[in-house]
Amino acid sequence: MNREDASDLLAFLAVARERSFTRAAAKLGMTQSALSQIIRNLEERLGVRLLNRTTRSVTPTQAGERLFLSVGPKFTEMDADLAALSELREKPAGTIRLTATEFAAAEILLPALRKILPKYPDIHVEVIIDYGLTNIVAQQVDAGIRPGELVAKDMIAVRVSPDLRMAVVGSPSYFAERKRPKTPQDLTHHNCLNLRLPTHGGSLYAWEFEKNGRELNVRVEGQLVFNSAGLLLDGALKGLGLAYLTEGHVQPYLSQGRLVRVLSDWCPQFSGYHLYYPSRRQPSPAFSLLVEALRYRGK
């Protein structure tokens, strides 16, 4: 079927359904004379009369009635299929790939997903744990979660947490045999648990301190190096050394007395976590739903 036949058949179906050129023309958004010409052209191509026209009524001929009953349901079915596709486009669905640190994934992302995933079974989320500044475009990742100060300026950034602070912590058993540090310089006498970052050639993370406008980046030393904040926490809990983690990560263990905090007056506050994604990205319904679930609205 060519495009002209399909268009003319739709015009015929409208007239046969309405039993009126006037009403059918109004529904099709064309003049009555243009519609009449379309029907005449269709009849000429088919070589059969489709409609009986009088001054008072329009009724299908026997051939027209046969065409109406055979073709009409097919077009109705196609309309229903197109409507179903449109509904699917608007329904939140699809796979979203995200990169985040362990803490951000556990404390920020998972609670948001717990709210939306049960309601939208067609949404699937893949979470990639990473401490580097992942190039989400090159790695075909939809979005990342990192502290706001690390997000590139050309990205759209949505705050998903309040501002955060770091904490230096150790177990009571660790401090039973060592003096607590009073300044960052005292860390040279302590066994510190290091975190190796994949960025900058895989260097060890320098612990960042600040007090009275004075900033210090300290390269600590110790017997253990991890590439996971979760292992840093486990190591500190087991008395293997001091760990440098976010307050939120260690707060439950501080409250339970399983960890002790030191150098709190030296630990700076930094911008909270942000969800970031390319400015040219056109958010899908599923992605927009996730953004709204994660968006931090303050207290």
What are the tens digits of pLDDT across the range 97-116? Answer: 999 988 899 889 999 999 99
What are the tens digits of pLDDT across the range 228-287? Answer: 888 999 999 999 999 999 998 899 999 999 999 999 999 988 888 999 888 766 678 888
What are the tens digits of pLDDT across the range 212-236? Answer: 888 888 999 999 999 888 899 999 9
What are the tens digits of pLDDT across the range 146-162? Answer: 888 878 888 889 999 99
Q: What angle do CA 235, 236, 238 make, to 5 degrees?
A: 65
Q: CA 53 to CA 60: how far, in whole Å?
A: 9
Q: Return the pLDDT at 59.
A: 87
pTM of the model: 0.63
Q: Return the pLDDT at 29.
A: 86
Q: Return the pLDDT at 236.
A: 96
Find, among 279, 296, 288, 247, the residue nearest to 151 by Cα: 279
Give 83's pLDDT tier (boundaries 50, 70, 90): low
